[in-house]
Amino acid sequence: MNNYESVVIVNPNVDENSMKGLIEKFTTIINNDGKVENVDELGKKKLAYEINKNKEGYYVVFHFEANPNLIAELERNYRITDEVIKFIVIRK
């Protein structure tokens, strides 16, 4: 198992309950084949450039251990989730 960090930028118009649901969804996906160590909610921040007409985004950082084959599934879920406007997964 490798250590990973994933930064997800979510549409700032998403309400608090939906945000908790998204975090729970991604945490569940990671825990199926790995282990979430920490989830940091950094809150709304100004973006460096506009993405889909949004000037702000809600930042969430996941620190986790997982097998490499989980990363493709996690990124696929990020792509099909409409609320996610940008994401990156890096190996520590």
Give the helix/strand (H/E) hosting 5.
strand 2-10
Backbone angle region of 53, left / alpha / beta, with phi > 0 → left and psi within -120 to 50 → alpha: left
pLDDT at 77: 94
Point out the residues of the chain with pLDDT beneath 70.
Answer: none
pLDDT at 33: 87
pLDDT at 3: 94
3-state secondary structure of 52: coil
Full-prediction pTM beyond 0.85? yes
Fold of 2-91: Alpha-Beta Plaits (3.30.70)
Could you tell me where the beta strands, DSSP code E, fall in 21-83?
A: 34-51, 54-66
Instruction: For residue 85, give the nearest of 34, 12, 27 by alpha carbon.
Output: 12
pLDDT at 1: 86
C-alpha 81/C-alpha 71 separation (Å) is 15
